[in-house]
Chains A and B, each alone.
Chain A
Amino acid sequence: MDKKIVDELARAVGRENIIMDEASMKIFEYGAVDSHKGTPDLIIHVTEREQVSKILKIAYNYSIPVVTRGSGSSVTGAVAPTKGGIVLDLRGLDKIKVNIDDGIVEAEVGATVLDVDNECKKYGFFFPPDPASARVATIGGALAENAGGMRGARYGVMRDWVLKIEVVLSDGTVTYFGESTYKNRAGYDLLGLIVGSEGTLAIITKAWLKIMPLPEKIVRIAGFFNTLDDAGEAIFRIRREGINPLILEFADKEGVEAANKVKGFSYPELPGGMVLVDVDGPKNGVDSIADRVIKIMQETHAAQIIRPETPSEMERIMDVRRVAFTAPGRLYPGFIDGDIAVPLSRIKEALIGVDKIRKKYNVFIATVGHAGDGNLHPNIGADPNNKEEWERAEKAAEEINLLAIELGGTVSAEHGIGKLKEDVLIKQFQVRGQMPMYKLMKEIKKIFDPKNILNPDKYALG
């Protein structure tokens, strides 16, 4: 990058916040997958929200790409600076303020979802969205991807919990979308447009989020199944029979095996995997709901049912689900993220369909997911240096996405599009008659970002 521009940026944000050494360039080349990468020209460690506006004014003036980054845990290549330019590391923006009177928490975007949740818990409240990566996922990243998480079965995704955001537009203008009220009909829902836009329309610097009182009691139940058919039936029936679980998760045999190895556990490694359920409610009422879940698991032939009683036992079994996501990464140098969602009634077909694809291509797939909201993560492990194996993995990934479309679902539930899913996103739009919407998306991008500097080359927007 031209020295004159670097000097201008240094005057705006302080030279100590500008990083240009070769080692750091390597570190910021990608997110959590290296299939998409690019070398930035420089990295700026943002420490004050006002700096973002100053940086964008300069970037806009010189048409420099800007990629915004939180923890860099994106699995779709969304934070890879494929066009070079500036990478903004926003983790220095981490202030959190809970306002119980208004039922909200104000958070700067570098704060992690877990930090926000923990801060709320000090007051007897919690922040419902909980990506499995909550301990590292930042509020900014979670908003940019419209993340969900385990409690999505009950509480949905980030969009459902954000009332207002402070944003910096591509030319450096600071403005606000939404209000810090539970209801607001003033203007188009531009807040909803920004959430899930993966940094392509504006940069979020602060958010006003809704919070909820903590449940009195949570009961956790894990069922281990001999067949995917039985596990799928249990998931379907729990929802169909009117139980509204706090979480309803799934981890397949490969995922449970990985967790047992990494954590030294000995949970059953059965072909039908594990179904994990949390139910919550008043202390004197929740046990009857838990009994209904156990009865359904028994009727759907669970080989073993575990109801952990102590907090540490409950945490241990939750760790199985968390670690299961990373099973392919542990065994293979390459990883292809799966993130499909299907209608609740098709979850069993999705589980069985993925298993058929696994056998057809003879690839390693560990499927975990937020089964309660129809979201599965069939994650593929393979060696990118083994051309034949990697091609099989890519074909399997594509077929899984096509399966989701065929079942009336979507190729991206909560991890976003980034670089990884650009082709299948367009495929989904074509199949569903949504190409006119895609055209509107591209027009909206031009309005918000006429110079195409905000996270360019992502989201099938060019």
Chain B
Amino acid sequence: MDVLEILRNESQKCIRCGFCVYVCPSWNAHGKLEYYSPRARVTLIRSMLEENFNINDAIDSLFTCNTCMRCLAECPTGINVADLIIYARHYSLQKINKE
């Protein structure tokens, strides 16, 4: 399975309920700005896959996740956002290198 397929399969499980947001240390540390929440990161990954959004325009959102996995414990659909973020970072860096 390639990186994009993994990103697609996992991110489309997100129902954007926001349970992940409140436990996220990154969101709390950034004054409760949605941009720094797990839900936003997953939404942006979906936008990249479905609407050709350039994920590198949201690079600080991706790279401020500290992969603590608190969001996984809260997610009712069981998305491992930390894993997803690591794959997305990998994809993002590959894209930068190509460019």
Residues of A within 8 A of B (CB): 19, 21-24, 26-28, 30-34, 45, 47, 71-73, 89, 91-92, 112, 133, 135-136, 261-262, 322-323, 325-326, 329-330, 333, 335
Residues of B within 8 A of A323 (CB): 76
Would B22 and A24 count as touching, CB distance under 8 A?
no
Given A19-B35, A27-B34, A136-B19, residue A325 in contact with residue B44 (CB < 8 A) = no
Given A92-B32, A326-B77, A330-B77, residue A26 in contact with residue B53 (CB < 8 A) = yes
Neighbour of B31 across the interface among A92, A133, A135, A333, CB < 8 A: A92
Across the A-B interface, give the 5 residue pairs with the lowest CB-CB distance, nearest first: A329-B15, A23-B58, A326-B76, A330-B77, A136-B18
Q: Shortest distance in angstroms between B64's beta carbon and chain A's nearest beta carbon? A: 13
Would A329 and B44 count as touching, CB distance under 8 A?
no
B57 in contact (CB, < 8 A): yes
Would A27 and B35 count as touching, CB distance under 8 A?
yes
Within 8 A of A (CB), among B34-54: 34-35, 39-40, 43-44, 47, 51, 53
Residues of B within 8 A of A (CB): 12-19, 21-22, 31-35, 39-40, 43-44, 47, 51, 53, 57-58, 61, 74, 76-78
Neighbour of B13 across the interface among A72, A322, A325, A330, CB < 8 A: A330
Q: Shortest distance in angstroms between A158's beta carbon and chain B's nearest beta carbon? A: 19
Identify the closest chain A residue to B40 (Cβ).
A27
Q: How far is the CA of A28 from the CA of B34 in the complex (A)?
A: 9
Neighbour of A24 across the interface among B31, B35, B76, CB < 8 A: B35
Residues of B within 8 A of A28 (CB): 34
Which of A23, A32, A136, A262: most chain B CB closer than 10 A? A23
Q: Shortest distance in angstroms between A140's beta carbon and chain B's nearest beta carbon? A: 14
Would A32 and B22 count as touching, CB distance under 8 A?
no
Residues of B within 8 A of A26 (CB): 43-44, 47, 51, 53
Residues of A within 8 A of B51 (CB): 26
Neighbour of B18 across the interface among A21, A73, A330, CB < 8 A: A73
Residues of B within 8 A of A72 (CB): 16, 18, 34
Neighbour of B32 across the interface among A27, A32, A91, CB < 8 A: A91
Would A136 and B21 count as touching, CB distance under 8 A?
yes
Q: Shortest distance in angstroms between A75's beta carbon and chain B's nearest beta carbon? A: 9
Q: How far is the CA of A34 from the CA of B9 in the complex (A)?
A: 17
Q: How far is the CA of A322 from the CA of B53 in the complex (A)?
A: 33
Extra pairs beyond A47-B31, A73-B18, A329-B17 (17, CB < 8 Å): A24-B34, A24-B40, A27-B43, A32-B18, A33-B16, A45-B31, A45-B33, A71-B18, A71-B21, A72-B34, A133-B17, A135-B19, A136-B21, A261-B78, A262-B76, A326-B15, A330-B77
Q: How far is the CA of A30 from the CA of B34 in the complex (A)?
A: 13
Q: How far is the CA of A32 from the CA of B16 in the complex (A)?
A: 5
Would B17 and A326 count as touching, CB distance under 8 A?
yes
Given A22-B57, A23-B44, A23-B57, residue A262 in contact with residue B15 (CB < 8 A) = no
Would B78 and A330 count as touching, CB distance under 8 A?
yes
